[in-house]
Structure 1
Amino acid sequence: MFKKVIVVGIVFVLLASLATAATTAAGQDDPATPMIHVDPASALRDTPVQIVLVGFEPGVEVTLQARATDSLGVGWESWATFVADESGSVDVSAQAPTAGSYTGVDGMGLFWSMTAANYTVPFSWDTLDPLVIHLFARVAGETVARAEIERLYVAQDVTRVEVREAGLYGTLFLPPGDGPFPALLVLGGSEGGLGENQAALLASHGYAALALAYFGYEDLPPELAEIPLEYCATALDWLRAHDAVDAGRIGIMGGSKGAELALLLAVRHSDVRAVVATAPASAVFQGLNSDMMTRPTSSWSEGGAPLPFVPFPMTLEVYQAMQTDDGLMQFLPVYEAALDDEAAVAEAAIPVEQIAGAILLVSGGDDVMSASERMADQIVARREANGQTTLHLNYPAAGHMIGVPYTPAMNTDRAIAVQGGAVFGGTPEANAAASADAWPRILAFLDENLR
């Protein structure tokens, strides 16, 4: 009886061991089963992702397709065909596709090269919800593997606070923890309204970030004309006084007209330690009011009076130069003509040599929305004449739309809306490459000057 119990026990142990081994094997990848590995599968939207295909026949052609739907319900997709290596694998970050929506070795090519059929405006994501990208691996037209990638627009535990006090309209994003944190005032451009995505991402990188609307939102001025600098000064004061903010580590980030505003504010607030100005202006320019042709005025005001500004010389010659052959508008000709008015430029020049903090400028050499490259060079020269250094990231083939990387770049060169169209310059590929290079350098610059 005793021996029988022992035998039964041994059999039970063997069966249990075999079951455990089978379970373990089932939890591992079958080398003969095609799979898509994504690392990381969920990460902040500015984080590069490694995509590796395994389990394919060596030498087989594999087409990898990416699909996503933007916040307007528009479907976007990209694709790339690869040849599996001798181990039956494809490393997207190390191999160039034989065909696809992008060329060359580019681990994030599937992300920025997404397109939307018959769509004429840039990718839209006006929510802080994660963006889900669906991947499909196909062999001979048959889907053999699937995966999902989650792109986070804000990190977990970042706190979002609506700001509706002291006359301000904005949203504050705070990193997890008690602080105090270095802080950034984040300014949009001529689109107006309140854009939160960039501030949310900056908070995900450890900054208290205040996205501030300054026109075209609720009770604020409806147009970009004579915006009081005092309003933004109030925002800076509010940031400094916040319990979670280190008042000694304040920076400002702005793009296009927001870059012009950022530089103006840094001149007037010597405690600003860092300024990031993308597509900057070297002077104050005319406002964008609806009656700008008959009532030209400044973009900004101070003490109740408009700041001196460079007017837009809307002559017939300039107007004709602004129109492209396909009926779109490019604003570079009017900026170039305006900058040739030396007296007006001298009077309206932003005295950037008075900025105490560090400055990072980002410009595209093919920007046809404004003369950002020329004006960035003017800023650098003016500060150099005063013995100051300025970091200028210039991308010769890029246009106006340089920003956070790894989002679809289609229509960042030109866009057609119901009201008309505009040309921003560059190409989707060049704009994507510029963003991929500039953004980590922007973060490094902020870390160096605000941490």
Structure 2
Amino acid sequence: MRIEISPDQPALDTELRIRLTGFPPGETVRLRASQPGWASEANFVVDADGTVDLARDAPVAGSYEGVDPMGPVWSMRPADDAVGDPPELTLSASGVATTVVRHRIPAGLVRTEVTDGDLYGVLYHPEAAANLTTAVLLCGAEGGIHEDDAALFAAHGYAALALAVYGAPNRPPTMKDIPVEYFARALEHLSGLPVVNPGKVAFVGGSKGGEAALVAGATWPGIAGVVSIVGSGVMTQGIDQSIFTGSFLDIVTTPVPNWTQGGKPLPFVPNVVTPEVEKAIADGEPVRLRDVFEPGLSLDILAAATIPVERISGPVLLLSTEDDGGYGPAFHQVAADRLAAHGRPHEHVVYAGAGHLIAAPPYTPTTVSIGPGPGVRFRHGGTPAATAAARADAHRRVLAFLASL
């Protein structure tokens, strides 16, 4: 009896081929997937040829339903000692086990830290490469950079810059009064690198980073395309204090501009704290950020705060989720309507049943939809299965978008 996993040196975003071979035909076997602090279990009936193939067979019981090659991975649930996304994945059944290391930073990449003036980021690209399509990856309200995500994109043959907007060296400590000129300086820096094709630089962001990507693209014509994942076509309120130490109510009730241009603040839709949100906070219930964002769409400032996305030079990909606990699809629909009215190339995809957390790399657990916030818990929304499917499809779409530039 064997458990086969291929390929044997996968990246974190690689769909695995998982097969059980040599097992007694007709018997039910329990397949357990685990990584430190996480585990799932699913029962399969062995085929007449002694195999179980996860690309062919659905479990008869367990942590997920239907045929899904990566079902055991995304359906893992955490224990009290869960430690993020460790690279080692172990599969076991009937006393047989095998382990594969899923690499967050694949081999064959060059890593360069970017510290040019007020710029900060980490650039990855394949070795001995030149003139590459380049993705600039922008984080959300958590700040900092996701350099491992840049590495995963680079492993597909692109240059990828994880660019800090705030909360990193050389950058402001909070998301307040960020000059949009910063994005132009990032473009200028990239255009001087032999590895980068300056005519094929796309901005890609998730959540608040999706808003940032649309703002950058609408401001600087050198950007060849924009991807906004669960982001906003409207400029929303900034953050004037650390999201890790400040009070949630203080943060959301302090209307500060996120963006400036020419030293002047750009208009924004402020948050609105309703009595329902205040009650949820007082009762210790999880809070949806969407509930403080969406009321702003009915304010008079909306027209001035809407991002002029029709100025984006290239195509725009908007990825939304139906049960987003963050912005919600209405914020992308504002951009989609504006792009359509001006005949600009775009696509707006809304994933049914999925929640906010689809900007993460695919094939990671999606069973936790409530996470920590500044003195509160956030409800991100979505079912595990729908969010997992949306993550995987969103990743494929972003890669296809980059290939099309």
Same fold (TM over 0.5): yes
Partner Cα distance (1:417, 1:356) in 2: 36
For the pair 1:236 / 2:198, whether they are aligned, the reply is no
Superposition TM-score, scaled by structure 1 size: 0.84
Contact 1:166–1:234 under 8 Å retained in 2: no
Contact 2:257–2:265 under 8 Å retained in 1: yes
Measure how far apart 1:66 and its partner are: 1.3
For the pair 1:391 / 2:347, whether they are aligned, the reply is yes
Aligned to 1:22: none
Aligned to 1:19: none
Query: In structure 2, the residue corresponding to 1:94 is in which secondary structure?
Result: coil
For the pair 1:206 / 2:168, whether they are aligned, the reply is no
Query: In structure 2, the residue corresponding to 1:405 is in which secondary structure?
Result: coil
Alignment of 1:77-96 (within 5 A): 77-96=39-58
The one of 67, 72, 84 equivalent to 1:124 is 84
Partner Cα distance (1:295, 1:168) in 2: 27
Query: Gaps (5+ residues) in structure 2?
Result: 242-249
Measure how far apart 1:439 and its partner are: 1.4
Q: RMSD of the TM alignment (CA)? A: 2.0
Query: Gaps (5+ residues) in structure 1?
Result: 1-33, 70-74
Measure how far apart 1:295 and its partner are: 4.6
For the pair 1:63 / 2:45, whether they are aligned, the reply is no
For the pair 1:250 / 2:209, whether they are aligned, the reply is no
Partner Cα distance (1:279, 1:49) in 2: 26
For the pair 1:216 / 2:174, whether they are aligned, the reply is no
For the pair 1:359 / 2:321, whether they are aligned, the reply is no
Measure how far apart 1:326 and its partner are: 5.8
Q: Radius of gyration: which is bigger? A: 1
Measure how far apart 1:323 and its partner are: 4.8
The one of 328, 353, 356 equivalent to 2:286 is 328
Partner Cα distance (2:123, 2:93) in 1: 41
Give 1:66's aligned amino acid: A
The number of residues matched between the two structures is 396
Query: In structure 1, the residue corresponding to 2:100 is in which secondary structure?
Result: strand
Contact 1:185–1:236 under 8 Å retained in 2: no
Measure how far apart 1:417 and its partner are: 6.1
> Aligned pair in 2 of structure 1 residues 324, 414: CA closer, same or farther (>3 Å)?
farther
Give 1:203's aligned amino acid: A
> Aligned pair in 2 of structure 1 residues 417, 309: CA closer, same or farther (>3 Å)?
closer
Partner Cα distance (2:385, 2:398) in 1: 20
The one of 108, 113, 129 equivalent to 2:70 is 108
Contact 1:360–1:391 under 8 Å retained in 2: yes
Query: In structure 1, the residue corresponding to 2:224 is in which secondary structure?
Result: strand
Aligned to 1:405: 362
Give 2:8's aligned amino acid: A
Q: Give the percent of matched residue pairs that are identical in Structure 1 and Structure 2.
A: 39
Give 2:7's aligned amino acid: P
Partner Cα distance (1:258, 1:423) in 2: 19
Contact 1:154–1:201 under 8 Å retained in 2: yes
Partner Cα distance (1:430, 1:212) in 2: 29
Measure how far apart 1:218 and its partner are: 3.0
Measure how far apart 1:416 and its partner are: 3.8
Aligned to 2:383: 427
Aligned to 1:46: 13
Partner Cα distance (1:316, 1:36) in 2: 54
Measure how far apart 1:420 and its partner are: 2.7
Query: In structure 2, the residue corresponding to 1:426 is in which secondary structure?
Result: coil
When structure 1 is superposed on structure 2, of 202-211 and 229-238 the one drifting more is 229-238
Aligned to 2:338: 382
The one of 307, 320, 335 equivalent to 2:266 is 307
Structure 1 runs (4+) deviating above 2 angstroms are: 290-295, 313-320, 322-326, 416-420
> Aligned pair in 2 of structure 1 residues 219, 441: CA closer, same or farther (>3 Å)?
closer
Aligned to 2:89: 133
For the pair 1:338 / 2:305, whether they are aligned, the reply is no
Measure how far apart 1:315 and its partner are: 4.5
Query: In structure 1, the residue corresponding to 2:203 is in which secondary structure?
Result: strand
Measure how far apart 1:78 and its partner are: 1.2
Give 2:191's aligned amino acid: R
Contact 1:188–1:257 under 8 Å retained in 2: yes
Aligned to 1:97: 59
Query: In structure 1, the residue corresponding to 2:301 is in which secondary structure?
Result: helix
Partner Cα distance (2:205, 2:253) in 1: 29
Partner Cα distance (2:386, 2:252) in 1: 34
Contact 2:124–2:154 under 8 Å retained in 1: yes
Partner Cα distance (1:356, 1:289) in 2: 32
Aligned to 2:247: none
The one of 170, 174, 177 equivalent to 1:226 is 177
Superposition TM-score, scaled by structure 2 size: 0.93
Measure how far apart 1:216 and its partner are: 1.3
Give 1:240's aligned amino acid: S
> Aligned pair in 2 of structure 1 residues 315, 115: CA closer, same or farther (>3 Å)?
closer
Query: In structure 2, the residue corresponding to 1:152 is in which secondary structure?
Result: coil
Partner Cα distance (1:268, 1:418) in 2: 32
Contact 1:41–1:148 under 8 Å retained in 2: no
- Residues 40-88 of structure 1 show CA distances to partners (whole Å, capped at 9, x for unaligned) of 122122221111111111112211111112xxxxx11111111111122
For the pair 1:446 / 2:402, whether they are aligned, the reply is yes
Measure how far apart 1:385 and its partner are: 1.0
Give 1:308's aligned amino acid: P
Measure how far apart 1:314 and its partner are: 2.7
Partner Cα distance (1:347, 1:416) in 2: 33
Aligned to 1:274: 225
Partner Cα distance (2:252, 2:208) in 1: 19
Query: In structure 2, the residue corresponding to 1:336 is in which secondary structure?
Result: helix
